[in-house]
Chain A
């Protein structure tokens, strides 16, 4: 074996990169058709799957951004065709298709027809919002145009009865696929309009392939829906299906069940709503009445009868009277108190008369006694004196023969002979009578007799 030249030895990366370049140059964009298998959609939002046919398989991916424009869900077993870039994922050495655009296989022509019809009718204004009729709030009777045997009719009946147990449904069985479907659906819509006993129409069909929905993508059905005087609600296929009928309908529901839910309000909720309103009404009137009651009561209590006015006035007068009386009483009390205080003070200051009176009385008594004694003594003295006097009485002396000589006219008692001169007149007082004489001679000396 010869040694390979080093220039011919590829590294894995190098080889892979070269293959990648070749692949991506040769198949930059390819249209490809096949069946989906090993479908996986992790949380990233990207879709990973394999595309296979009878003999081969290729890894595929469709990124979240591209998936946004999908009008259907990718799933195992689904035949698709689409536009993809071929690329090589170096870390794994895998080549894979990155899809830019995917359509269900066979839909291409139909899709094109669909878009054309949609544009045509749209341009005519069949889908305009102004033509949309308002659904009745609570329909009396609902006409259901659908297959008489499919799951759709059972779902609708079930939902309707659950939401509004005594609802009135009219089933109009029609073929929903195949050629007769178109005509039957149109006739059914017309018949319901002719009968005019329903106030809303549900046009429904269970899910199916795009080909199966052909009747609902037809122009005559769209026109019949548009012409209906009774509002039409469509519930066709799965949520992802959009048909021309949906665009023409007054309201589009994603599924037959949803259509039934849309058309019929829930009776329980209505009953609750009305019960609540009833309650609110009662509460409101009760509150109102209570308010006015209170108001009347309040005003009544504030309305004064004359009796009350008089009573109040009386009370006021009485109060004032009492206050006046109290004030007066208080003043008198204070006055009395003051007076008594002053008088007590005065009494305290007054001289003590009693002992003085007694002293006076004592002195008086003493005086009286002293006086009496004095008088008595004097009387006694007088009596003694009188006795003495009597003893000394000159008359008595005279009676015993003595006489009293007195000068005349001086009437001086002559006790000494020298007191008189000869010839002087002398009066001699005798015991009885008096003699007037003249001095004839005087004898001097001490001896008289």
Chain B
């Protein structure tokens, strides 16, 4: 699910930044980490912007089936 991956991605990103800032990484690994980090950044930003604004209302039909209809905020 996206929620877990957002958090995971964010944690990974934080970890990568911390690791890179420690300065102990060999260059090849640092470059690889950087690439991964940038991917995480893009992924996180995508998640933040992708969710479509939506307010719905949960309804239950006569047969007991669940449905969603737009919620009238006003």
Are A170 and B41 closer than 8 Å at their CB atoms?
Answer: no
Expressed in whole angstroms, the Cα–Cα distance for A273 and B40 within the complex equals 13
The 8 Å CB contact of B14, one of A139, A171, A277, is A277
Q: Judge whether B56 and A191 touch: CB under 8 Å.
A: no
Given A170-B58, A171-B56, A195-B58, does the pair A138, B17 have CB atoms closer than 8 Å?
A: no
Say whether, besides A191-B58, A277-B17, A199 and B48 are in contact (CB < 8 Å). Answer: no
Contact of B49 among A166, A171, A273, A280 (CB under 8 A): A166
A30 contacts chain B at the CB level, 8 A cutoff? no
Interface residues on B, range: 35 or more
Q: Which of A148, A169, A194 has the most CB of B within 10 A?
A: A169
A288-B51 in contact (CB<8A): no
| A 144-170 to B, binary, CB cutoff 8 A, 1 in contact else 0 | 000010000010010001001111111
Query: What does DSSP make chain A's interface, helix, strand, loop or mixed?
Result: helix
A321 in the interface (beta carbon within 8 A): no
Contact of B63 with A by CB under 8 A = no
Asked whether any CB of chain B lies closer than 8 Å to the CB of A188, the reply is yes
> Is A199 a contact of B3 with CB atoms below 8 Å?
yes
- Chain B, residue nearest A165 (CB): B53
Q: Does A254 contact B (CB under 8 A)?
A: no
Give the interface size bracket for A toward B. 35 or more
- Closest Cβ of chain A to B35, distance in Å, is 9
Q: Is the CB of B21 within 8 A of A143?
A: no
Complex Cα spacing A277 to B48, Å: 15
Is B2 an interface residue, CB under 8 A from the partner?
A: yes
Q: Are B57 and A274 in contact (CB under 8 A)?
A: no
B23 touches A194 (CB 8 A): no
- Residue B66, interface by CB 8 Å: yes
**Does A260 sit at the interface, judged by CB under 8 A?**
no
- Taking CB atoms, residues of chain A closer than 8 Å to B27 are 288-289, 292
When the two chains form the complex, which single residue of B47, B54, B57, B60 contacts A148, counting CB atoms closer than 8 Å? B57
Inter-chain contact A288/B20, CB cutoff 8 Å: yes
Assembly CA distance A110 to B20 (angstroms): 59
Chain B positions 6-49 with a Cβ under 8 Å from a chain A Cβ? 6-7, 10, 13-14, 16-17, 20-21, 23, 25, 27, 30-31, 34, 37-38, 41, 44-45, 47-49
* Residues of chain B with a CB closer than 8 A to A164's CB: 51
Interchain nearest-CB distance for A159 vs B (Å):
13
B17: chain A residues within 8 A (beta carbon): 277, 280-281, 284
Question: Which listed residue, B2, B30, B48, B52, touches A267 by the CB 8 Å rule?
Answer: B48
- The reply to whether B53 and A274 contact each other, CB–CB distance below 8 Å, is no
Determine if B66 and A288 form an interchain contact, defined as CB atoms under 8 angstroms apart: no
| Chain A nearest Cβ from B28, distance in angstroms | 10
Q: How far is the CB of A91 from chain B (nearest CB, A)?
A: 59
Which residues of the other chain, B, contact A258 by a CB distance below 8 angstroms?
none
Instruction: Select one of B4, B10, B51, B71 contacting A167, CB under 8 A.
Output: B51
Q: Which of B16, B49, B55 is the one whose CB lies under 8 Å from A169?
A: B55
Chain B residues within CB distance 8 Å of chain A: 1-4, 6-7, 10, 13-14, 16-17, 20-21, 23, 25, 27, 30-31, 34, 37-38, 41, 44-45, 47-49, 51-58, 60, 66, 68, 71, 73
A-B contact pairs, 14 of them (CB 8 A): A138-B3, A140-B2, A168-B54, A169-B55, A171-B58, A171-B71, A195-B58, A271-B45, A274-B41, A277-B37, A281-B20, A284-B17, A284-B34, A288-B25
The 10 A-B pairs with the shortest beta carbon distances in the complex, nearest first, are: A137-B7, A284-B20, A285-B34, A136-B3, A166-B53, A281-B37, A172-B58, A278-B41, A280-B17, A171-B71
